[in-house]
Amino acid sequence: MGSLAAALGVGFVLGGGLFSRVTVRIVATGLRVGLRMAVVPLMARTLVTLGEELIGPPAGNDDAHAFGTHSTVNQRKRKT
């Protein structure tokens, strides 16, 4: 399979296909798919993180200060 793919690639380039419309379409499709595969998971993680920050810690969670929702002054007031 590898030898067949290499022979096909070499034949395509030697046949003058390197600067053709087909090559432009193949490269454009590859870039589009590659960018989607790279960007979609990144955007999903960013949106989940943003949503978690907006919602805050779950109700009844005593570790709320670990999320940075309470200032040091409020923590001291709670302890006294």
Which pLDDT tens digits describe the chain residue by residue (80 residues)? 999 999 998 998 898 888 889 899 999 999 999 999 999 899 999 999 998 888 876 665 555 455 555 555 555 555 55
DSSP 16-76: T-TTSHHHHHHHHHHHHHHHHHHHHHHHHHHHHHHHHHHH-SPTT-TTGGGGT-S-HHHHH
Asked whether 22 and 12 are in contact (CB, 8 A), the reply is no
- DSSP-derived 3-state class of residue 64: helix
Report if pTM > 0.85: no
Task: Indicate the domain borders of the chain.
Answer: 2-56+65-79
